[in-house]
Structure 1
Amino acid sequence: MAKNYKSNPETYSEKFRYNYLLKLCEKILRIYNIDLEVLGYENIEKGYGFIVPNHKSGIDPIVLIAALKNPSQEEGAENKFATFISKEEQSKILIKAMSLIDVVLIKRNDLRNSYEGLINFGNYVKNKKVYGVIFPEGTRVKGEALGEFKSGAFKIAKSNYLPIIPCAISNSADAFNSNRKKRLKVTVSFLSPLKPQSFMILENEAISNRVKELISKELHKNAN
């Protein structure tokens, strides 16, 4: 399907592509015996903006797509759409799948390319009115501690005057551990949005520290 979409982008609607990928992600979670718990869905029910999660595993993008599924059983309830910004160095299979939701790719060591990618990503989120997911650590971080939160996510939120939704992904590190024998529960917590008017005058470092603190507290709470 990804190949057909690339050749004929008008063939598949955004809704069709996203729901197709959602089903694929849910299938992967079943294969790896992962139970998903979603907290704070009410924080993303209205509007759009930038979801900013911690990053411990390659399963994280898959978990996030599944977490955006509308839990309502009401007829006509629609899922939230999201796209990602990602490094070109990711696996070809993952990039091909993510191309269905118009992921923005950047080159790790090319500052100009990364800057242009962030601009395009911000414009896409604002124009399409979807959620944009950006991992502020920039890469998977091993261990319990959080890595450095880079400023890119917060710069584009300010430049597009859009909210930031801190997101804590708990217990995903062992998702692909072949030695794991038990089912794994991964928790995705969408925290209260930071509205633009609350951070526009702040330095990016101050916003970064605040988001990191909120995520850290949620991870600690979910671990107990």
Structure 2
Amino acid sequence: MSLIRSILHLLVLVVTVIPYTFGVLLVRALTRNPDAAYRVARAWLRIVVLASRWVLGIRPQIEGLQNLPLHDPAGAVLLAKHQSAYETFLLPAMLPRPIAYVFKKELLAVPFFGWSIGSLDMIHIDRDKPTRAFARVLQQGRRLLAKGTWVIMFPEGTRVPRGAQGEYKSGGTRLAIDAGVPVVPIAVASATVWPPKAFVKRPGVVRMSIGAPIASAGRKPDELMREVEAWIEAEMRRLDPEAYPADPAAAAPSGTPS
């Protein structure tokens, strides 16, 4: 049944992405307004999330929405755990502010989906040229953050399996410090139902937790990223305790028998 549901969900994505891509491209060509094109793209992402609920049986459970800096006119850098494609659909669909992903340029070659995101006001980078890539992140990121856009980055760089921890890189905190905006850590336990790079998905709940904004003023990038990492990884263990082995020290008896 999960295989059949996954096939049907893929068909929904394929059938709907084509007209919405043309809609995004048309709106961008006629209005030259990236925000208008973003609203069209966001409507498609909401369809994807709804299809995930009704076809796959996957529903989100989100905590900490009150932590989002809605009253701050400046932007923020959102640093999220990345376990599957689900959160890349969910975050733009549910967040109340326009967002911009930092993503690898190879995605631009994906038919329809890549053409759509390529026309939006987001940041695509060449990972083979890290120095130029980071310069682009700073340049484009400052501009987007200045107009109130939230920039989303995955500090581990790629999707990580359930219960795993990648290397947290400080690019997101460097951007936040450079632009003078806070960072917002986000923990997402999506691999419980949507494993990375897996075609078959399982019904269930994706738990997401949004942390309080952390000010970047006066901080060092590596130090700030360590704080973000500590919060996300601790929160992942709370959201999905079955994915992480118990601490042997905590499980050991406190004394010896008499």
Task: State the TM-score, normalized to the length of structure 2.
Answer: 0.72
Task: Find the aligned partners of 1:55 and 1:140 in 2 and give their Cα distance.
Answer: 5
Task: Find the aligned partners of 1:172 and 1:120 in 2 and give their Cα distance.
Answer: 33
1:60 aligns with 2:82: no
Over the matched positions of the two proteins, sequence identity in percent amounts to 19
1:24 aligns with 2:49: no
1:137 aligns with 2:156: yes
Task: Find the aligned partners of 2:136 and 2:27 in 1 and give their Cα distance.
Answer: 21
1:37 aligns with 2:56: no
CA contact (8 A) 2:100 2:149 kept: yes
Give the corresponding residue for 1:165.
184
1:151 aligns with 2:178: no
Deviation at residue 141 of structure 1 after TM alignment: 1.6
- Secondary structure (helix, strand or coil) at the match of 1:89 reads helix
Structure index of larger Rg: 2
CA RMSD of aligned residues (A): 2.2
AA aligned to 2:231 is L
Task: State the TM-score, normalized to the length of structure 1.
Answer: 0.82
**Cα separation, partners in 2 of 1:209 and 1:7, compared to 1, 3 Å:** same
1:89 aligns with 2:89: no
AA aligned to 1:113 is R
CA contact (8 A) 2:86 2:190 kept: no
Deviation at residue 80 of structure 1 after TM alignment: 1.5
Q: Which segments of 5 or more consecutive residues in structure 1 lack a partner in the other structure?
A: 69-78
User: Which structure shows the bigger proportion of residues in helix conformation?
Assistant: 2
Task: Find the aligned partners of 1:86 and 1:166 in 2 and give their Cα distance.
Answer: 18
**Cα separation, partners in 2 of 1:150 and 1:59, compared to 1, 3 Å:** same
**Cα separation, partners in 2 of 1:151 and 1:6, compared to 1, 3 Å:** same
Give the corresponding residue for 1:72.
none
Give the corresponding residue for 1:80.
97
Range moving further from structure 2, 89-98 or 204-213: 89-98
Deviation at residue 38 of structure 1 after TM alignment: 1.8
With a CA cutoff of 8 Å and minimum separation of 6, indicate the structure with the bigger relative contact order. 1
